[in-house]
Amino acid sequence: MRMLNIDPLAIIPFERSPTFNPFVDKCIETARQRNYLNDTFQEKHIIIGAAAAHHAYLYHEGTESHDIPVLSSLLMAFIYFIDDNGFQQQSIAQFGSRLVSGRPQLEKGLDDMVAATAELADMYEPITGDLLRMTIQAYVMSNQLEQELESGGMQSKVNKNAPFFPTIMKTSTSCGTLAFLLSFPCDVPSTSYIQALVDGIWVHDITSDIMSYYKEAINGEFTRIEQIAQMKGSPGSDVLGDLVKTMVQSHERTIRVLSASDPSGSLVSYYTRAIEGFVVFQALYPRYRIAEFGIFSF
C-alpha cells in the first residue's frame, strides 16, 4: 500500500462511497436484463464483480470505453463463480473444446461468460481482444488442472526441477492479463502498452498473492507462495517478502515503459488507477480478511 501511495487510514468502506451502490445496482440490473441470474449464479456473485470493477475501472465511465466497468464486473463475477466451484467439473473440463468448436457449453452460465468476454474483447483492436479471449480460456483450463492435481494428491508435491510451474499456474489462474489490459481505454493502440505486459501481469499476480495470502493460509491452501517455499526450504513469510520486492521492481519497470511510450502520463495514470483500485477492493472485501489486521480507521 505504501509503494502504491495508498493510505490505509484514508480508505473508506464500500457503503460510504457515493458511487458504489448505484454502480452495483446498475450491474445487477444489467445481469438481470441479460438473463444471467439463476438459482446458482446470483446477485451476490454480481456484487463481488461489481466491487472489483467499481474500484479498478470506474474511471472509464464518460469516455469511449464507458462500457468497460459494467462488462468487466459481469466477467469478473463469472471468474469468482468459477473460483468458488460454481460450475460442474464436467462443464469446466469441456469448456475449451466446446468453445473452439462453436458448440454450446454444458451450462448456460459458461455461454454467458463467453458472450461477455467476446463483447469486451471486440471493443479492443485484435491483439488486445485475442489476449482477453485467451486469458479466459486459460483461466478455465487452469481451474480444471487445479482440480485434477488436487484429486491426484499432487498439489502439495511440486517437483524441485520444475521451479517455474507455480508461476505458470499463478499466471493462468489470476487473470492478471485481463486485469492489466482492461486498465487501458479501448481506443488506445495495443502497441503503446504491450511492452509493459509481462511486468504488468506480474504486478497483478503478485498483488493477488499478497492480498490473498492471509485468508489462504487460514484456510490451509497450498498456494504459490507455499509451493515456492517448499522447493526452497524456506518459510512462506520469507517468500512473501521476496515477492513484495519483485512486485516493486515490476511496478517501477511498468511505469518507466508506459512513460516512455506516452510522456503525457495518461497510460501511467490508467495503469496506476487500476492497480490501486484492485488493492483497495481486496483490502476492503471480506473475502480477503485484510480488515482483521486493524489497519483501517473504521
Across the 298 residues of the chain, what is the mean pLDDT of every consecutive 10-residue run?
90 96 98 96 97 97 94 97 94 96 97 97 97 94 84 70 83 88 97 97 92 86 81 84 92 98 98 97 95 92
Class in CATH terms, 20-293: mainly alpha
pLDDT of residue 68: 97
Per-residue model confidence (pLDDT) at position 155: 57
Around Cβ 255, how many Cβ atoms within 10 Å? 19
State residue 152's pLDDT score: 67
N-term to C-term CA, the chain: 17
Count CB atoms within 10 A of the CB of residue 258.
Answer: 26
Q: How far is CA 207 from CA 3, 73, 136, 140, in A?
A: 12, 19, 19, 21
Query: How far apart, in whole angstroms, are the C-alpha atoms of residue 26 and residue 164?
Result: 41
Q: What is the pLDDT of residue 196?
A: 98
Distance CA 38, CA 44 (A): 11
Q: What is the pLDDT of residue 220?
A: 80
Cα distance between residue 114 and residue 185, in whole Å: 21
| Packing angle, helices 165-174 and 197-218, rounded to 10 | 90
What are the Cα distances from residue 236, in Å, to 94, 201, 227?
35, 22, 9
**Distance separating alpha carbons of residues 35 and 242, to the nearest angstrom:** 45
- Closest by CA to 156, choosing from 212, 205, 221, 217, is 221
What interhelical angle do 236-261 and 266-284 show, nearest 10?
A: 150
Report CA-CA distances (Å) from 203 to 22, 134, 137.
Answer: 30, 19, 21
The set of cell numbers assigned to 165 is 510451474
Q: Within a 10 A sphere around the Cβ of 117, how many other Cβ atoms?
A: 22
Q: How is the chain split into domains, by residue range? A: 20-293
Residue 96 to residue 151: CA distance in whole angstroms: 21
Q: What is the largest CA-CA distance in the chain?
A: 52
Cα radius of gyration rounded to whole Å, the chain: 19
The region that residue 233 occupies, defined by phi over 0 for left and psi between -120 and 50 for alpha, beta otherwise, is left
Angle CA 186–20–289, to nearest 5: 100
Query: Up-side HSE of residue 127: CA atoms within 13 Å toward CB?
Result: 11
pLDDT (0 to 100) of residue 154? 59
- Count of residues making up the chain: 298
